[in-house]
Structure 1
């Protein structure tokens, strides 16, 4: 007996195969609806189960291995092709946060060139199964610097992002770093990324040292404004409106060597007395 689909011109040899057709192509029947059709032969049911698995596999249109760093690959599964490369980048930033903060480009292994990397510009070039590599401006800049000695010209937003990351990292080790420590951080930055030198000479890190120092100070001020006790305790010093207060750079209250959490933010609605009671 031949079974015909009411929604298209397809035909099937068994009722079970017709149900499979509806489920895959028209999504008209769920598992619950299928259970009411008791006239299905037992030999038809496995056909449905198998093809439903095939449907799930077919729905995964893009299975990608994404290298977010040189030695770090993550799996990305997309049920449909994104509308643009920018949308794909936004999806990756959301799935892989915070690994993909900041600006980057995507390169794919092009089978037309024996797997050599090509810049992904047209979303239609996105492979259904393949490898993508995240390339950041400084990485591409290092390659150009090695080949031609040309330094990378950063956009304002890119420079701000680098300084923000540096400030957060430095603060996690020491809220009030010395000049020498800022110089060490700046040197480490341009050693890892020579293309970021601000000048071609040996003092290429001096500009970064000043900018990092300003950014760390700004980062502390922002934390103080939201009530982080470790830095808020040092606010309200000498200014035009308070000329008799302590000098901003004298008698700074900060942790001693190897000391952590010397001034902590208490949990909401708690006081030292209530915490002592809880400990007892």
Structure 2
């Protein structure tokens, strides 16, 4: 059976299932695997009688050959270990038995890397109304929409806000992807004098991002304020003219302190965590929550003070464990460390096999067995 699956307005996929699962839950598992969906969701199908979407509770309600499904994501009941969502633990004087109230949510934290296709946000009602009418006119006779200055400013400001939710300093290619996604969703905004149709939008977005960063910097955003230091001015005298920006892969370079927290309260949590790590068997749940909650404090130390490794081992002993290295990587770049490593390793597999063969491992039976197994896997793949 052929399925048209609407994951989002910008993500519509065609999926063929043969045979079709015999239950709604089985269908969900198949779609979750094929579309690589991580969060839990419900399904709706396009009903032929009502010409509208209805909740899918029985597979017998589906049409025979072709079906249009809509994915509706639901809030997860529980949080995974790598989640950066809010976790509140019970209060107690002993962290090993019951951890203190720790909010592991990162203030203004980014939980997703830059998307493959940038999701264009929904604008205000009047702007969406004009864009809808403009898109209809464009599909009829190719008429382009003449945009008033106030509407263009509102579109750029909304896009800048969404861009910042992924990156504070997007690169040239990323700005281009946003401009291209805007024109793809709203073709009436194309520029007649531009070959691509979005070059002017790209330039406008670059300037708007600069203005948006300045606005946040004036409001006291630490992530952007750290780059406003000038040589020999006030408290920064003697620090030099270091420009501290996130690298391309970093999503949470220098977040602000969590709402309702200050350096003093986070320092107390750090001290409790350091004491817990001295135990033979530390409370992993407490350490995970404390490390997540104090991430902003730790990043400010690393970026602003640049402490030596010996000092970091004393103040943050948990960061040198395998578990917390992986979690800190997830907090910084919003990716799973082991998965990223294995995917990168797979990309170099063929060259690694050639390297191993050139070293002549005939005298090592284990290596010979591994190479033979890899050859079989490659042939059957």
Q: What range describes the TM-score normalised by the shorter chain of this pair?
A: 0.3 to 0.5
After TM superposition, the score normalised by the length of structure 2 is 0.34
Structure number with higher strand proportion: 1
Query: Higher RCO, 1 or 2 (CA under 8 Å, sep at least 6)?
Result: 2
Q: Please identify the structure whose Cα radius of gyration is greater.
A: 1
- TM superposition score normalised by structure 1: 0.46
The answer to which structure has the higher helix fraction is: 2
